[in-house]
Amino acid sequence: MLANVFTKTVLDRWKGVAIAAGSLGLMLLFGMAVYRDVDLSVYSNLPEAMRSLMNIGENADASGLAYGAIYSSYGALTLASLALSMGAASIAGEERNGTIGLLLGNPRSRTQVLLSKMASTVVLVAAGTLLLWGLGRVVPEILSVDIGGRQIEALMVHMFVIALFHGFLALAIGAWTGKRGLASGATAGFMVLSFFAVGLLPFVEGFESVAKVFPWHYYEAGTPLVNGIQWGNLGLLLGLSAVLGAVALVGLERRDLRGHGVAVTLIDRLRENRFTKKVIERLAGSARVSSVSAKALSDHQTLLISVGYIALLMSAVMGPFFLLIDDVLKDFVDQLPEGLLAMVGYADMSTPEGWFQGEMFSLTLPIAAIAVTAVMGSKALAGEEANRTMGLLLTNPIGRTRVLFEKTTAMVIAAVVVGILSFVGTALGSLIAGLGMSMAGIAATCVLLTLLSIVFGALALALGAATGRTRIAMFGTAGLALAFLVLNAYLPLSDSLAGLARWTPFYYYLTSDPFNTGMHWGHAGVLAAIAVVLIGVAVFAFERRDLRQTG
């Protein structure tokens, strides 16, 4: 019986771990191939703070750069994000979904359930780490890159332990509060803060020792990729993880659990506030239908809060970080292959606008924003069918088209929230650092970002409406988004094929250089028109298809 909870959790989550690890492996392949063909001396001339944040040593070679910049940084953050997601969902997620009562209704105690969840988190993180290790060994062989004395096994062990720490931190918060959003949001915020603090504080006079307060310091200290496993640091992190596990057990045992999905949602809290009550009630509609768009937002508030937090915090941090960069960045960019520059829209990263475009708006924020709308779009209709709740929803006096429009409204609201937070973060970054960026240019870029994310959310909605399959909607949207991104980047490199880039939605996003030139209303209109057409296709397909009610 104990194994059932463990096994189901592993089976439910292994695909996400495999996809994340595989994506990082592809990034390592791409990165190492690029670094192999670049004059690496430009990296040694970067400001020390920037090299520290990117985990780049003074005399790094192609393998050191790839492992440091991709595995040590992005890889560790990704693995830790997966772990904290598992930790937050372990108890608080079951309460939110109203399934904790089903688990505890069987002959198993709270402690047994929690231990099973802990064990599944450990196994899944270990599996992801092993897959990353295997890919980290295979990629250099494929590219014939000498990794020298790089101790990738030590790096993997450190990545595993720091990920486990964040998973158990989210688990402890969720066990004590029963709030999945708080558990994942607080842990993710602490992780990002720790990452930047450890990278930058050692270079701020008077704050050098403050970095030791953050767990990320004990992950990076001693440079495990070069010097091997740092047992003292790992012992401290493992000890803290054990303490957090014990804290989770105590919190779970002493608290009354919510077994019927009665957690207070974001919408509930807005209803309770006298300043927002009337607005929310109007948006929600009647008692019978209020839950369609409002509940859709509440169901995805954890994802929305996490992405919004990243959009706000990382954008704000990028402003002051630009001040750490001097003229060497221009020399560095000049050394990069044309294909790599194409991926960031040939941004002039020696300017604040180009820096933000290259670091945040070319890949990071579009991926984050599209992730929100694609998830909401794919689960809007197909998710209801898969969960066997579509019939229950349609028994109310509400038609199929109304359901679709309510779900679409929730998705659009989420996209707008991400766009607003991206604007606020970027504007704050510019103001704090005194970069003097145009507020109109930032606003135009964020509006186009919002429209782009709505396009792919509408695509996911249409695929889900036509097929009733969440996976087809999700992976179909992700695949097309990646294909369009690559085509928009590389088609302009060929004079004969450059015109075909206009057939990709990404062409109408940053091609007009909105940071510097402001809003291109024609491009905004094209993106809006594409979204409207896709929503129309969704309506047409959903109205004419027999719905599945058997999962």
| 184-193: pLDDT as tens digits | 878 887 887 7
Looking at the fold, whether 323 and 230 belong to one and the same domain comes out as no
Are 104 and 110 in contact, with CB atoms under 8 Å apart? yes
Q: Give domain status of residue 282, yes or no.
A: no
Side chain identity, residue 39: D
Q: Give domain status of residue 268, yes or no.
A: no
Q: Give domain status of residue 281, yes or no.
A: no
Looking at the fold, whether 230 and 333 belong to one and the same domain comes out as no
Instruction: Tell me which of 263, 291, 314 is where a domain ends.
Output: 263
Looking at the fold, whether 211 and 321 belong to one and the same domain comes out as no
Instruction: Tell me which of 216, 239, 263 is where a domain ends.
Output: 263
Long-range contact pairs involving 214-218 (C-beta distance under 8 Å, separation at least 24): 215/162, 215/165, 215/166, 215/240, 216/162, 216/191, 218/162
| 393-407: pLDDT as tens digits | 555 556 677 888 888
| 295-345: pLDDT as tens digits | 777 667 767 776 777 788 778 878 887 776 544 455 555 555 444 444 455
* Residue-number span of the structural domain to which 397 is assigned: 300-551
Looking at the fold, whether 366 and 462 belong to one and the same domain comes out as yes
Name the pLDDT band for 255 (thresholds 50, 70, 90).
confident
| 116-148: pLDDT as tens digits | 899 999 999 999 999 999 999 998 888 888 877
- Among candidate residues 500, 524, 528, 525, the one with its CA nearest the CA of residue 510: 524
Which of 68-77, 282-291, 377-386 has the highest average model confidence (pLDDT)?
Answer: 68-77
Tell me the two tokens of residue 298: 């509440």
Of 9-18, 185-194, 284-293, least confident by mean pLDDT is 284-293
| 78-91: pLDDT as tens digits | 888 889 888 988 88
Looking at the fold, whether 249 and 375 belong to one and the same domain comes out as no
Distance between CA atoms of residues 133 and 334, nearest Å? 32
Side chain identity, residue 245: G
Name the pLDDT band for 109 (thresholds 50, 70, 90).
confident
Of 33-42, 370-379, 451-460, 512-521, least confident by mean pLDDT is 33-42
Are 481 and 407 in contact, with CB atoms under 8 Å apart? no
Looking at the fold, whether 256 and 342 belong to one and the same domain comes out as no
Looking at the fold, whether 221 and 324 belong to one and the same domain comes out as no
Q: Give domain status of residue 292, yes or no.
A: no
Question: 3-class DSSP state for residue 57?
Answer: coil
What Å distances lie between residue 320 and 2, 52, 274, 434, CA to CA? 50, 16, 38, 9
Question: Residue 180 is inside which H or E element, if any?
Answer: helix 180-200
Q: Give domain status of residue 284, yes or no.
A: no
For residue 389, the model assigns a pLDDT of 59
Looking at the fold, whether 452 and 530 belong to one and the same domain comes out as yes
Are 142 and 29 in contact, with CB atoms under 8 Å apart? yes
Q: Is 69 exposed, middle or buried (0-12, 13-18, 19+ CB in 10 A)?
A: buried
Looking at the fold, whether 253 and 327 belong to one and the same domain comes out as no
Mean pLDDT of the residues in the chain: 78
Looking at the fold, whether 252 and 308 belong to one and the same domain comes out as no
Distance between CA atoms of residues 59 and 54, nearest Å? 14
For residue 318, the model assigns a pLDDT of 80
Q: Give domain status of residue 290, yes or no.
A: no
What is the model's pTM? 0.66
If one counts the domains in the chain, the total is: 2
Question: 3-class DSSP state for residue 78?
Answer: helix
Q: Which residues of 300-327 are buried (b: 16+ CB within 10 A; e: fewer)?
A: bbbbbbbbbbbbbbbbbbbbbbbebbee
For residue 280, the model assigns a pLDDT of 53
Looking at the fold, whether 340 and 399 belong to one and the same domain comes out as yes
Instruction: Tell me which of 247, 263, 279 is where a domain ends.
Output: 263
Backbone conformation region of residue 499, classed left if phi is above 0, alpha if psi is from -120 to 50, else beta:
alpha
Q: Give domain status of residue 295, yes or no.
A: no
Are 420 and 372 in contact, with CB atoms under 8 Å apart? no
For residue 342, the model assigns a pLDDT of 46
Q: Give domain status of residue 160, yes or no.
A: yes
Looking at the fold, whether 37 and 89 belong to one and the same domain comes out as yes
